[in-house]
Chains A and B, each alone.
Chain A
Amino acid sequence: MIELYVLLGLMIAGSLIAIEVKNLLSAVIAVGVVGLGLSIVFLLLKAPDVALTQIVVEIVAVILLIRATLNRDIAMKYCGRRPFGAIMGILFTGFVFVIALITFKDGLNLFGAPLMTVSQFYPQNAIEGTGAMNVVSAIILDYRAYDTLGEATVLFTAVVGVLTVMRSPGKKKEEDLQDSK
Protein backbone atom coordinates (compact mmCIF):
# COMPACT_ATOMS: atom_id res chain seq x y z
CA MET A 1 0.00 0.00 0.00
CA ILE A 2 3.05 2.28 0.40
CA GLU A 3 3.37 2.69 -3.38
CA LEU A 4 -0.15 4.13 -3.49
CA TYR A 5 0.81 6.87 -1.02
CA VAL A 6 4.02 7.63 -2.94
CA LEU A 7 2.01 8.00 -6.15
CA LEU A 8 -0.60 10.19 -4.46
CA GLY A 9 2.14 12.44 -3.10
CA LEU A 10 3.71 12.64 -6.58
CA MET A 11 0.35 13.59 -8.08
CA ILE A 12 -0.26 16.32 -5.47
CA ALA A 13 3.26 17.69 -6.10
CA GLY A 14 2.65 17.61 -9.87
CA SER A 15 -0.62 19.52 -9.62
CA LEU A 16 0.95 22.15 -7.34
CA ILE A 17 3.86 22.59 -9.79
CA ALA A 18 1.39 22.86 -12.69
CA ILE A 19 -0.39 25.73 -10.95
CA GLU A 20 2.64 27.62 -9.68
CA VAL A 21 5.25 27.32 -12.44
CA LYS A 22 5.62 30.20 -14.91
CA ASN A 23 6.81 28.23 -17.96
CA LEU A 24 3.88 26.83 -19.95
CA LEU A 25 5.72 23.70 -21.17
CA SER A 26 6.71 22.78 -17.60
CA ALA A 27 3.09 23.19 -16.51
CA VAL A 28 1.86 20.84 -19.28
CA ILE A 29 4.49 18.23 -18.37
CA ALA A 30 3.45 18.46 -14.70
CA VAL A 31 -0.17 17.82 -15.74
CA GLY A 32 1.09 14.77 -17.63
CA VAL A 33 2.80 13.51 -14.46
CA VAL A 34 -0.55 13.73 -12.63
CA GLY A 35 -2.33 11.75 -15.36
CA LEU A 36 0.30 9.01 -15.61
CA GLY A 37 0.35 8.65 -11.81
CA LEU A 38 -3.45 8.33 -11.86
CA SER A 39 -3.12 5.56 -14.46
CA ILE A 40 -0.79 3.54 -12.20
CA VAL A 41 -3.15 4.17 -9.26
CA PHE A 42 -5.99 2.64 -11.31
CA LEU A 43 -3.76 -0.35 -12.08
CA LEU A 44 -2.96 -0.84 -8.37
CA LEU A 45 -6.69 -0.67 -7.56
CA LYS A 46 -7.25 -3.59 -10.00
CA ALA A 47 -9.01 -1.63 -12.78
CA PRO A 48 -6.87 -2.36 -15.89
CA ASP A 49 -9.55 -1.18 -18.36
CA VAL A 50 -9.68 2.29 -16.84
CA ALA A 51 -5.88 2.38 -16.49
CA LEU A 52 -5.39 1.65 -20.21
CA THR A 53 -7.94 4.28 -21.25
CA GLN A 54 -6.47 6.82 -18.83
CA ILE A 55 -2.89 6.41 -20.05
CA VAL A 56 -3.71 6.69 -23.78
CA VAL A 57 -6.08 9.65 -23.32
CA GLU A 58 -3.47 11.37 -21.14
CA ILE A 59 -0.82 10.96 -23.84
CA VAL A 60 -3.16 12.43 -26.48
CA ALA A 61 -4.09 15.29 -24.15
CA VAL A 62 -0.44 16.15 -23.42
CA ILE A 63 0.45 16.07 -27.14
CA LEU A 64 -2.52 18.29 -27.99
CA LEU A 65 -1.72 20.73 -25.16
CA ILE A 66 1.94 20.99 -26.22
CA ARG A 67 1.06 21.45 -29.90
CA ALA A 68 -1.70 23.94 -29.08
CA THR A 69 0.12 26.04 -26.50
CA LEU A 70 3.77 26.05 -27.55
CA ASN A 71 5.10 28.81 -29.86
CA ARG A 72 1.96 30.80 -29.30
CA ASP A 73 1.88 34.11 -27.47
CA ILE A 74 -0.83 33.73 -24.88
CA ALA A 75 -1.63 36.87 -22.96
CA MET A 76 -0.42 36.30 -19.40
CA LYS A 77 -2.51 38.04 -16.80
CA TYR A 78 -1.28 38.34 -13.26
CA CYS A 79 -3.88 37.14 -10.79
CA GLY A 80 -3.67 38.88 -7.45
CA ARG A 81 -4.25 37.11 -4.17
CA ARG A 82 -7.88 36.36 -3.47
CA PRO A 83 -8.25 36.12 0.33
CA PHE A 84 -11.99 35.34 0.20
CA GLY A 85 -11.48 32.29 -2.03
CA ALA A 86 -8.59 31.03 0.10
CA ILE A 87 -10.61 31.37 3.31
CA MET A 88 -13.61 29.58 1.77
CA GLY A 89 -11.38 26.79 0.49
CA ILE A 90 -9.77 26.23 3.88
CA LEU A 91 -13.19 26.34 5.61
CA PHE A 92 -14.69 23.80 3.19
CA THR A 93 -11.71 21.44 3.47
CA GLY A 94 -11.85 21.62 7.27
CA PHE A 95 -15.61 21.00 7.20
CA VAL A 96 -15.20 17.88 5.02
CA PHE A 97 -12.34 16.67 7.24
CA VAL A 98 -14.39 17.02 10.44
CA ILE A 99 -17.44 15.31 8.90
CA ALA A 100 -15.23 12.45 7.65
CA LEU A 101 -13.65 12.05 11.10
CA ILE A 102 -17.11 11.80 12.70
CA THR A 103 -18.50 9.44 10.02
CA PHE A 104 -15.56 7.03 9.74
CA LYS A 105 -14.50 6.89 13.40
CA ASP A 106 -14.85 3.08 13.36
CA GLY A 107 -12.61 2.78 10.30
CA LEU A 108 -13.36 2.53 6.60
CA ASN A 109 -14.67 -0.57 4.84
CA LEU A 110 -12.22 -2.57 2.78
CA PHE A 111 -11.97 -1.56 -0.88
CA GLY A 112 -14.83 -3.20 -2.79
CA ALA A 113 -16.66 -4.37 0.34
CA PRO A 114 -19.48 -5.01 1.10
CA LEU A 115 -20.32 -6.72 -2.18
CA MET A 116 -23.64 -5.40 -3.48
CA THR A 117 -26.36 -7.39 -5.24
CA VAL A 118 -25.78 -5.75 -8.61
CA SER A 119 -22.04 -6.33 -8.53
CA GLN A 120 -22.64 -10.00 -7.73
CA PHE A 121 -25.01 -10.37 -10.68
CA TYR A 122 -22.60 -9.27 -13.41
CA PRO A 123 -19.63 -11.61 -12.74
CA GLN A 124 -21.97 -14.57 -12.25
CA ASN A 125 -24.15 -14.05 -15.34
CA ALA A 126 -22.07 -12.06 -17.84
CA ILE A 127 -20.25 -14.97 -19.51
CA GLU A 128 -23.28 -17.11 -20.32
CA GLY A 129 -25.45 -14.05 -20.90
CA THR A 130 -23.25 -12.33 -23.48
CA GLY A 131 -20.34 -14.69 -24.23
CA ALA A 132 -17.72 -12.04 -23.44
CA MET A 133 -14.90 -13.02 -21.08
CA ASN A 134 -14.18 -9.37 -20.23
CA VAL A 135 -17.01 -8.45 -17.87
CA VAL A 136 -16.35 -4.71 -18.24
CA SER A 137 -16.79 -5.02 -22.01
CA ALA A 138 -19.97 -7.05 -21.48
CA ILE A 139 -21.39 -4.32 -19.24
CA ILE A 140 -20.53 -1.26 -21.33
CA LEU A 141 -21.49 -2.82 -24.67
CA ASP A 142 -24.41 -5.06 -23.72
CA TYR A 143 -26.06 -4.37 -20.37
CA ARG A 144 -25.34 -0.63 -20.40
CA ALA A 145 -25.03 0.00 -24.14
CA TYR A 146 -27.24 3.11 -23.91
CA ASP A 147 -24.48 4.62 -21.76
CA THR A 148 -21.90 3.97 -24.49
CA LEU A 149 -24.22 5.47 -27.09
CA GLY A 150 -24.44 8.63 -24.98
CA GLU A 151 -20.66 8.69 -24.59
CA ALA A 152 -20.22 8.38 -28.37
CA THR A 153 -22.68 11.26 -28.80
CA VAL A 154 -20.67 13.40 -26.37
CA LEU A 155 -17.46 12.71 -28.29
CA PHE A 156 -19.18 13.45 -31.61
CA THR A 157 -20.46 16.77 -30.23
CA ALA A 158 -16.95 17.64 -29.01
CA VAL A 159 -15.40 16.92 -32.42
CA VAL A 160 -18.09 18.91 -34.23
CA GLY A 161 -17.61 21.78 -31.78
CA VAL A 162 -13.84 21.89 -32.27
CA LEU A 163 -14.17 21.71 -36.06
CA THR A 164 -16.76 24.50 -36.02
CA VAL A 165 -14.81 26.86 -33.77
CA MET A 166 -11.53 26.35 -35.65
CA ARG A 167 -13.07 26.47 -39.10
CA SER A 168 -12.77 30.10 -40.16
CA PRO A 169 -8.94 30.40 -40.20
CA GLY A 170 -8.53 26.90 -41.59
CA LYS A 171 -10.65 27.55 -44.64
CA LYS A 172 -8.28 30.05 -46.14
CA LYS A 173 -5.42 27.58 -46.51
CA GLU A 174 -7.38 24.68 -47.90
CA GLU A 175 -4.68 23.46 -50.27
CA ASP A 176 -1.96 22.60 -47.71
CA LEU A 177 -3.99 21.77 -44.64
CA GLN A 178 -1.75 18.98 -43.40
CA ASP A 179 1.56 20.50 -44.37
CA SER A 180 3.27 21.63 -41.16
CA LYS A 181 6.59 23.15 -42.12
Chain B
Amino acid sequence: MSKEHDHGMTIIVKTVTRLTVGLIFLYGIYIILHGHLTPGGGFAGGVIVALSFINLDLAFGGKVSAKIFSRGSTSVIEAFGGIMFLALALLGLRWGGFFDNFLHPDGEPGMLISAGIIPLENIAISLKVGAGLFAIFLTLITLQKFESEKK
Protein backbone atom coordinates (compact mmCIF):
# COMPACT_ATOMS: atom_id res chain seq x y z
CA MET B 1 0.00 0.00 0.00
CA SER B 2 1.51 3.26 -1.06
CA LYS B 3 1.09 6.50 0.77
CA GLU B 4 -1.84 7.69 -1.32
CA HIS B 5 -4.09 4.99 0.10
CA ASP B 6 -4.14 6.65 3.49
CA HIS B 7 -6.68 9.32 2.58
CA GLY B 8 -9.91 9.38 0.65
CA MET B 9 -12.49 6.71 -0.03
CA THR B 10 -12.34 2.91 -0.27
CA ILE B 11 -10.19 0.88 -2.66
CA ILE B 12 -13.17 0.20 -4.96
CA VAL B 13 -13.82 3.90 -5.53
CA LYS B 14 -10.11 4.54 -6.05
CA THR B 15 -9.75 1.79 -8.67
CA VAL B 16 -12.82 2.92 -10.62
CA THR B 17 -11.63 6.53 -10.45
CA ARG B 18 -8.16 5.59 -11.67
CA LEU B 19 -9.71 3.89 -14.70
CA THR B 20 -12.25 6.59 -15.59
CA VAL B 21 -10.82 9.95 -14.61
CA GLY B 22 -8.56 10.21 -17.65
CA LEU B 23 -11.48 9.44 -19.94
CA ILE B 24 -13.58 12.14 -18.28
CA PHE B 25 -10.75 14.64 -18.70
CA LEU B 26 -10.28 13.71 -22.38
CA TYR B 27 -14.03 13.98 -23.01
CA GLY B 28 -13.95 17.51 -21.58
CA ILE B 29 -11.04 18.43 -23.86
CA TYR B 30 -12.93 16.96 -26.84
CA ILE B 31 -16.07 18.97 -26.02
CA ILE B 32 -14.00 22.16 -25.76
CA LEU B 33 -12.01 21.71 -28.98
CA HIS B 34 -15.04 20.62 -31.05
CA GLY B 35 -17.25 23.37 -29.64
CA HIS B 36 -17.67 25.00 -33.06
CA LEU B 37 -18.56 21.69 -34.77
CA THR B 38 -20.70 19.63 -32.37
CA PRO B 39 -22.99 20.46 -29.41
CA GLY B 40 -21.14 21.65 -26.37
CA GLY B 41 -18.56 24.36 -26.10
CA GLY B 42 -16.39 26.12 -23.62
CA PHE B 43 -18.83 26.21 -20.72
CA ALA B 44 -19.87 22.54 -20.73
CA GLY B 45 -16.35 21.31 -21.51
CA GLY B 46 -14.83 23.43 -18.74
CA VAL B 47 -17.31 22.03 -16.22
CA ILE B 48 -16.44 18.45 -17.33
CA VAL B 49 -12.70 19.13 -16.87
CA ALA B 50 -13.42 20.59 -13.42
CA LEU B 51 -15.50 17.47 -12.64
CA SER B 52 -12.52 15.22 -13.38
CA PHE B 53 -10.44 17.14 -10.81
CA ILE B 54 -13.34 17.06 -8.33
CA ASN B 55 -13.50 13.29 -8.88
CA LEU B 56 -9.77 12.96 -8.08
CA ASP B 57 -10.14 15.15 -5.00
CA LEU B 58 -13.13 13.20 -3.64
CA ALA B 59 -11.67 9.75 -4.26
CA PHE B 60 -8.02 10.21 -3.27
CA GLY B 61 -8.16 13.07 -0.77
CA GLY B 62 -6.81 16.52 -1.34
CA LYS B 63 -3.08 15.79 -1.59
CA VAL B 64 -3.23 13.99 -4.96
CA SER B 65 -5.23 16.67 -6.72
CA ALA B 66 -3.12 19.39 -5.08
CA LYS B 67 -0.05 17.97 -6.83
CA ILE B 68 -1.71 18.45 -10.25
CA PHE B 69 -3.86 21.51 -9.72
CA SER B 70 -3.30 23.43 -6.52
CA ARG B 71 -5.55 26.05 -5.03
CA GLY B 72 -3.25 28.91 -5.84
CA SER B 73 -3.12 27.99 -9.51
CA THR B 74 -6.92 28.00 -9.85
CA SER B 75 -6.99 31.77 -9.34
CA VAL B 76 -4.17 32.29 -11.84
CA ILE B 77 -5.77 30.09 -14.51
CA GLU B 78 -9.20 31.65 -14.03
CA ALA B 79 -7.76 35.13 -14.40
CA PHE B 80 -5.78 34.00 -17.45
CA GLY B 81 -8.95 32.67 -19.10
CA GLY B 82 -10.81 35.92 -18.49
CA ILE B 83 -7.95 38.05 -19.80
CA MET B 84 -7.58 35.80 -22.88
CA PHE B 85 -11.28 36.18 -23.71
CA LEU B 86 -11.13 39.96 -23.29
CA ALA B 87 -7.87 40.21 -25.27
CA LEU B 88 -9.45 38.32 -28.20
CA ALA B 89 -12.34 40.79 -28.09
CA LEU B 90 -10.00 43.80 -27.98
CA LEU B 91 -7.77 42.47 -30.80
CA GLY B 92 -10.84 42.68 -33.03
CA LEU B 93 -10.73 46.47 -32.67
CA ARG B 94 -7.70 46.48 -34.96
CA TRP B 95 -9.67 44.86 -37.82
CA GLY B 96 -13.22 46.14 -37.43
CA GLY B 97 -14.74 46.20 -33.98
CA PHE B 98 -15.13 44.68 -30.57
CA PHE B 99 -15.45 40.86 -30.96
CA ASP B 100 -14.67 41.08 -34.67
CA ASN B 101 -13.89 37.61 -36.04
CA PHE B 102 -10.55 38.73 -37.46
CA LEU B 103 -9.22 35.25 -38.31
CA HIS B 104 -12.33 34.27 -40.21
CA PRO B 105 -11.72 32.76 -43.60
CA ASP B 106 -9.12 30.28 -42.38
CA GLY B 107 -10.21 26.86 -43.55
CA GLU B 108 -13.10 24.71 -44.67
CA PRO B 109 -16.18 24.91 -42.44
CA GLY B 110 -16.42 21.59 -40.63
CA MET B 111 -12.69 21.11 -40.14
CA LEU B 112 -11.05 21.42 -36.72
CA ILE B 113 -9.11 24.54 -37.74
CA SER B 114 -11.92 26.80 -38.87
CA ALA B 115 -14.37 29.40 -37.60
CA GLY B 116 -11.75 32.05 -36.83
CA ILE B 117 -11.48 33.01 -33.18
CA ILE B 118 -14.44 30.90 -31.97
CA PRO B 119 -12.28 27.89 -30.88
CA LEU B 120 -9.88 30.25 -29.09
CA GLU B 121 -12.81 31.86 -27.28
CA ASN B 122 -14.05 28.38 -26.34
CA ILE B 123 -10.64 27.56 -24.81
CA ALA B 124 -10.62 30.85 -22.85
CA ILE B 125 -14.12 30.26 -21.46
CA SER B 126 -13.29 26.66 -20.55
CA LEU B 127 -10.20 27.75 -18.56
CA LYS B 128 -12.27 30.36 -16.75
CA VAL B 129 -15.28 28.15 -15.95
CA GLY B 130 -13.29 25.05 -14.99
CA ALA B 131 -10.84 26.84 -12.71
CA GLY B 132 -13.62 28.93 -11.13
CA LEU B 133 -15.81 25.94 -10.28
CA PHE B 134 -12.85 23.98 -8.90
CA ALA B 135 -11.90 26.97 -6.74
CA ILE B 136 -15.46 27.11 -5.32
CA PHE B 137 -15.33 23.36 -4.60
CA LEU B 138 -11.97 23.61 -2.79
CA THR B 139 -13.19 26.57 -0.75
CA LEU B 140 -16.34 24.77 0.41
CA ILE B 141 -14.32 21.66 1.38
CA THR B 142 -11.87 23.79 3.37
CA LEU B 143 -14.69 25.49 5.25
CA GLN B 144 -16.30 22.15 6.11
CA LYS B 145 -13.01 20.73 7.36
CA PHE B 146 -12.43 23.81 9.52
CA GLU B 147 -15.89 23.46 11.06
CA SER B 148 -15.45 19.75 11.79
CA GLU B 149 -12.07 20.38 13.45
CA LYS B 150 -13.54 23.12 15.62
CA LYS B 151 -16.05 20.71 17.18
A residues near B (Cβ < 8 Å) are 48-49, 51-53, 56-57, 59-60, 63-64, 67-68, 71-72, 127-128, 130-134, 136-138, 140-142, 145-146, 148-149, 152, 155-156, 158-159, 162-163, 166, 169-170, 172-173, 176-181
Contacts and interface: CB of A to CB of B under 8 A. Distances in A.
A15 to B, nearest CB: 23
A181 B142 CA distance: 11
Residue from A59, A140, A141, A146 with most neighbouring chain B CB atoms (10 Å): A141
10 contacts: A60-B137, A63-B54, A127-B109, A130-B101, A131-B115, A142-B99, A142-B101, A145-B99, A166-B140, A181-B61
B146 A52 contact: no
Contact of B137 (A67, A127, A158, A172): A67
Interface in B108-122: 109-110, 114-116, 118, 121-122
Nearest to B79: A156
Interface string B106-139: 1101100011101001100100110011011111
A156 B132 contact: yes
A144 to B, nearest CB: 9
B96 to A, nearest CB: 12
A128 B44 CA distance: 25
Contact of B146 (A137, A169, A181): A169
B85 A53 contact: no
A56 B139 contact: no
Contacts of A170: 139, 142-143, 146
